[in-house]
Structure 1
Amino acid sequence: MKNLYRISAALLAATVAFSLVGCGDETGGADVTAAPEVTDIAETTAEPETTAMTEPELPPADFEGYEFRFVLQNDGYGEWKGRELGEGEQTGDTLNDALYERDLKVSELYSVSLKPLFTGDLVRLLKNTVTAGDNACDALFIQAPQLTAPAMNGLLFDIKQLPGLDLENPWWDAYAAKTLSIGGRLFFTYGDMNICDKDLTWLVMFNKKIAESYGVGNLYAEVADGKWTFDLFRGKCAGVYNDLNGDGVVNDDDLFGLVTPYDRTMLAFLYSCGVETIKKDESDLPVYAMDSPKLEEVFSRVLSLYFDGGCALDVMRVSGNWRRTETMFSSNQILFYVECMQNVERMRAMQDDFGILPVPKYDEAQGEYINMVCDFATATCVPASAPDPARTGAVLEAMNAYSKMLVMPAYYEVSLKTKYARDNDSAEMIDLIFGRRYFDLAYIYQWGGSIGAVMKLAGKGDENVVSKLESLREKTEAAIQKTVEAYAAG
């Protein structure tokens, strides 16, 4: 097979233990002064990324065989190893071959060779690249929480300032760019070249066999009619419990209406119900919004689902092994399994059919279904020391443009919809799920530890979310202000 990449024999070998936990707290600085006309940052709706497109119109350039280096997560990250670039040759795998074709087109268009560098400590490589000025890499895919300190410390290039890169183009996530910018500056974002953020989009899977047994009705129709609300979802979960082994103990050997990680899924439900922790003022600056009555209301309703009625289970509380949820679902012990999109792929060997749904919304008046992107999705960033910003902008623009044309159809239509989804309705649900996703600045930056506190309270079943957030408010607002000042100074 034709080999596309020039991969050195000694790829970067540093390996770190993989963690799903976000970065630590940001503290210091003065209180935030809220500007007038605070806006709702949830108003932008991205188009589903499966729209067919023709050959993108990109300006020609000749970069004379330049070796453009992308830094990706290595094998130490397990299933989250970076896969934004393919294997460097055609293998017969639909997604890999689409990646290969895209990379070949960009290589020929700009006379560049594309080199993946896999490492376990991506932030260290970024720091060394900038401080040493050795041009060791051109772009990186790093988990968003790990990018907050580099963004504040001047290690990243403002993506909005890259010549030849247009965030208005459909191959960039418009909502991500709007949400993740601070004061008009954007140091990391997402486009169609990114795959990890798609894998980490939250959704609901349901077991069709159990759904039929319990008469839950046509869930696809409920979604299509705008009736797939949290209250309806909670009602479907209620009453679905069976002590399958008859031991009189509620554990992971039983049948449940809902099994999910209580902490992260609490956030998914808050966001899907339209709760925002941060808003933006007229200067694109983040403003604290965790004091909304709606947050308290939705939090309480979710806790009621988790802990009242015995229909829900957090596997970590009884087994300490989050993977146990996967075997429970495939063994027909779970009606609703709320997790990330990658779990659809993990269920490919499941014998019984399952369906895919968006996370339920607040009420029928809410216009759209909103689906969380988990915080540790790897984002695109560029070192502040980029020696040729125009070249970097051109290559990233082309990689994302051809990703929309070639890679996303392979990812959505073939991998998710044809290979893993079990019916046409689920395929339509995937379009709906990716049509409106939610990125939360407070979740990514972990300002003041507020979001971590919400997750911890959810896991324990503690209803005191209002008092806890209020106790952290000064610290959180100070952390927000520190970030704002760092962005302004950079």
Structure 2
Amino acid sequence: MSRIISTALILLSLVFLVSCAGPADNENESSADISGGGETDAPDSETLPETDVLEFFKSANLGGREIRIHTSTNIVDNGNGMSSSNKYIEGSGRLSGDIVNDEVYERNIAIGETLGCVMKFTHVNLNYNQVLDSISVPVRAGEDFCDLIINDQYALVRAAFNGYLFNLLDDRAYVSHFDFEAGGWYYDYMKELTVSDSRLYIMAGDFFIDVLRNAHALYFNTNMYTDLYGSPDELYALVEDGGWTYSRLLELVEGAYADKNGDGLTDLTDNFGIIMPGAEGSLYPFIFSSNVRSVTFNYENQPSMITDTDRASSLCDTIMSIYRSRGANYQFKTDTIMSKFTSGESLFLNYFRIGDLEESALRGMKGVGLLPYPKLTAGQEQYYTTVHDTAEMGAIPSTCRIPGEVSLLVQAMMRYTNVHVLPKYYETALKLKYAQDEPSSRMIDVIRNGITSPFELAYGYQFERPLYISIRDSINSGSNILASRFKALQQPAVSKLRDFVEAFNRN
């Protein structure tokens, strides 16, 4: 029933948009021209035939409105070069016979015609640490430079904190068509990217498909596993039975090491159980798969720092045992780690994401399997998946004059993608075309179901990142110094966290 009500509200808001003043009215911009609509209950959108997915948007008429979309085309610098999500946003602009590309093409044509709008795409080819300036400079100058930004979470959270983005929940000055409870939205994920029940800046969901593509997966060489331990079916079954833990990973890592040149020394030419590109970003999927956090939230959604570090110290011991194991090596650079894995010289590969299955390096290798990152203990309730902070998500710049029209476009895109595009990508391309065996397809489900959005991964740069820093420094020192290191960071972190919350709600 709630879905029926929310759908009816979308219909009613389409009617109201023509009569409600918004930012566009104040700037002599024409608001959306909406005709039709009605006050009767709309049917539940979940029961509509696929061909009617845009039925609730057919009363919209944006009168040829141009909606300017700045979309990332930057290749992720992770050693393999995972392509941007633009091929699923803008697409190629033509039919090619590729099942996903053609769905994207048909979606964009159908939505443009249904809403009566023109989507103008501008490519933004900037590294994750350069994107913020492309937003802040025009916003601070008061420039109406684009209507929708699709770019890295790393930059968007910083733009949100500094007040450069439009508050998606502030519908006092415009008619919003967002329905975050409808299919396709990752609303829980989005709420982790704010510290206020009345402020929301960053959009995540099926249309912004990079959230899924940037979900961390632990890749492994199934052929190497078979030679060492037997059928990988045992490992897949362990995951599905809930018993895949770091202690088991450590056993497999240590058993896979081989001194290839027989010199008795560990060097980069040896075979390893697992390889990682340093002890920096590679740590995040390990840390957050445990669900150990340094920040908790109360019932008012206000964050505070933990005081009991016992579980964090146990996690530190566990991660250290892997990184410091003879079977592991974290001295590889990101531009060499993939070739080391694909040449059959490591059992496990850390740091890469589900979307890397699309790329040529893994597609050209026989015997690729993937798993969720393990649990800290078998008693942990589920597997947790970290999304890398270069995942490309959506936001509206604060200088946008037509947020209502943008919300209408995004809501339509989200709905259509949820019904048509995502199934083709997820079920057909990802799980059938790219995954090399049926158990790996099941593992993709486990990884996706565990996706989480740790607040401290997004905003930890604001308050010392005490958990991450303490574990990183312990690995580098060779001794678990988490308790003392965390304590030293805790007091300034608490103060900075408090300042962050106040500033976030003020900007």
The one-letter amino acid of 1:480's match is L
User: CA distance change for structure 1 residues 172 and 57 in 2, over 3 Å: closer, same or farther?
Assistant: farther
Residue in 2 aligned with 1:402? 416
Q: Does 1:149 align with 2:158?
A: yes
Which digits, 9 at most, give the CA deviation of each residue in 1:341-376, with x for residues without a partner?
233333444342121111111222222111111122
Residue in 1 aligned with 2:320? 303
Which residue of 93, 96, 99 corresponds with 1:94? 99
Q: Counterparts of 1:175 and 1:243 in 2: how far apart (Å)?
A: 46
Q: Counterparts of 2:363 and 2:161 in 1: how far apart (Å)?
A: 44
Tell whether the 8 Å contact from 2:70 to 2:146 is kept in structure 1 after alignment. yes
Tell whether the 8 Å contact from 1:180 to 1:189 is kept in structure 2 after alignment. no
User: CA distance change for structure 1 residues 254 and 483 in 2, over 3 Å: closer, same or farther?
Assistant: same
The one-letter amino acid of 1:211's match is Y
More helix per residue: 2
The one-letter amino acid of 1:447's match is Q
Q: Counterparts of 1:143 and 1:455 in 2: how far apart (Å)?
A: 25
RMSD: 2.4
Q: Does 1:158 align with 2:174?
A: no
Residue in 2 aligned with 1:28? none
Residue in 2 aligned with 1:206? 220
- Which ranges of structure 2 fall in alignment gaps of 5 or more residues? 1-47
Q: Does 1:107 align with 2:112?
A: yes
Secondary structure of the residue aligned to 2:219 is strand
**1:123 Cα offset (Å):** 2.9
Q: Which moved more, 1:198-207 or 1:68-77?
A: 68-77
Q: Counterparts of 1:81 and 1:356 in 2: how far apart (Å)?
A: 21
Q: Counterparts of 2:54 and 2:113 in 1: how far apart (Å)?
A: 14
Aligned length: 434
Residue in 1 aligned with 2:190? 177
Structure of greater Rg: 2
| Structure 1 segment 41-440 matched on structure 2, within 5 A | 54=50, 55=53, 58-59=56-57, 60-75=59-74, 79-83=82-86, 84-119=89-124, 120=126, 121-161=130-170, 163-184=176-197, 185-215=199-229, 217=231, 218-261=234-277, 262-289=279-306, 291-308=308-325, 310-316=326-332, 321-339=333-351, 340-346=353-359, 347-440=361-454
Q: Counterparts of 2:225 and 2:49 in 1: how far apart (Å)?
A: 38
**TM-score, normalising length: structure 2:** 0.80
Query: Which stretches of structure 1, 4 residues or longer, exceed 6 Å deviation after superposition?
Result: none
Name the structure, 1 or 2, with higher relative contact order (CA <8 Å, separation 6+).
1
The one-letter amino acid of 1:96's match is N
Q: Does 1:471 align with 2:460?
A: no
Tell whether the 8 Å contact from 1:70 to 1:117 is kept in structure 2 after alignment. yes
Which digits, 9 at most, give the CA deviation of each residue in 1:156-191, with x for residues without a partner?
111233511011122111321231121111111311
Q: Counterparts of 2:495 and 2:184 in 1: how far apart (Å)?
A: 35
User: CA distance change for structure 1 residues 238 and 473 in 2, over 3 Å: closer, same or farther?
Assistant: same
Which digits, 9 at most, give the CA deviation of each residue in 1:256-276, with x for residues without a partner?
111123433432122112212
Tell whether the 8 Å contact from 1:167 to 1:177 is kept in structure 2 after alignment. no
- Which ranges of structure 1 fall in alignment gaps of 5 or more residues? 1-51
Q: Counterparts of 2:123 and 2:471 in 1: how far apart (Å)?
A: 31
Which digits, 9 at most, give the CA deviation of each residue in 1:275-298, with x for residues without a partner?
123221121122223753211111
Which digits, 9 at most, give the CA deviation of each residue in 1:301-346, with x for residues without a partner?
11012213x1111142xxxx32322112111111121232233333
User: CA distance change for structure 1 residues 183 and 156 in 2, over 3 Å: closer, same or farther?
Assistant: same
The one-letter amino acid of 2:310's match is P
Residue in 1 aligned with 2:5? none
Tell whether the 8 Å contact from 2:372 to 2:447 is kept in structure 1 after alignment. yes
Q: Counterparts of 1:329 and 1:335 in 2: how far apart (Å)?
A: 7
Q: Counterparts of 1:478 and 1:175 in 2: how far apart (Å)?
A: 27
User: CA distance change for structure 1 residues 85 and 427 in 2, over 3 Å: closer, same or farther?
Assistant: same
Tell whether the 8 Å contact from 1:277 to 1:440 is kept in structure 2 after alignment. no
Q: Percent identity?
A: 25
